[in-house]
Amino acid sequence: MLIALTRGVSPSLGDCELQDLTRQQIDIPKAIEQHRNYRSCLADLGVQILEIPADPFCPDCVFVEDPVVVVDQAAVMTRMGVASRRGEGPAIEEALSRFRPVLRLTEPATLEGGDVMRIGKTLYVGLSRRTNEEGVSQLGELLGPFGYRVVPIPVHGCLHLKSACCYLGKQTILANREWIDASALLEFNVIDVPAEEPRGANVLRIGETLVLPASYPRTHKLLRRAGFQLRTVDVSEFEKAEGAVTCTSVLFDT
């Protein structure tokens, strides 16, 4: 069974970490409603939701993807690139330890799950302002014994690798190649996001369905023409916090 680990919206989300966006006021009740609708969308697609409570002292805690990398054999607790977010990990570790043995990155490594795009047994890992070379190296050392290969990809225009590219299935990646070094992706068919929607590449794949933010209609049209089945969700309040659809869940099979 496919499970999605999610976490409630912190009342302090407005104090989230920002890298590239200007801070805007976040409507917390609206964010809570959008998160509820997001979970309902996943449930409609056959995913079992495992929800853990928000932490009022961790503004970014709803973005559960960043503190952990989950593969079939283990859950790797990351060491996030901003110290203010490192308190998010214990609750996630507690929830996942029932399903996977837990491994850990250690100082001086930094790595955030939003920089990790898994395709089969290959993990493409963004070298970003949040993930460093030591983080990539340690992830490879921990997961290499399970047969995983780690491939670094420089990120230079956005927060995380998956802000700029996501795997759609069918050997196809949706990408904004202006924000990454895409030379490691030459074996794939790359669909470029419309220039008017540079942040449209973040897509959550569940089975044969792609879940996308409602705010990128040109990207929706492009993917429908390419034959993909789509579901859209409104995540406008999370977009103000540099979030999207992949970062608010951790998907894994039991």
Q: Which domain holds residue 162?
A: 2-253
Confirm if 230 and 210 have CB atoms less than 8 A apart.
yes
Residue 192 confidence (pLDDT): 98
Model pLDDT, residue 161: 98
Tell me the C-alpha distance between 216 and 58, whole Å.
Answer: 29
* Residues annotated as catalytic (active site), given as ranges: 160, 247
Backbone angles phi, psi at 247, to 5 degrees: -80, -10
CATH, residue 15? 3.75.10.10
Encode pLDDT of 148-201 as tens digits. Answer: 999 999 999 999 999 999 999 999 999 999 999 999 999 999 999 999 999 999
Q: For 48-63, what is the mean pLDDT? A: 98
Sign of the Cα pseudo-torsion (42, 9, 69, 216, in order)? positive
- The pLDDT > 90 percentage for the chain reads 100
- Could you give the number of structural domains in the chain? 1
Rounded to 5°, angle at Cα 252 from 136 and 167: 60
**Measuring CA to CA, how many Å separate 163 from each of 17, 33, 103, 201?**
15, 23, 25, 6
**Count of CB atoms situated within 10 Å of the CB of 226:** 13
Q: Number of C-alpha atoms within 13 angstroms, CB side, residue 17? A: 18
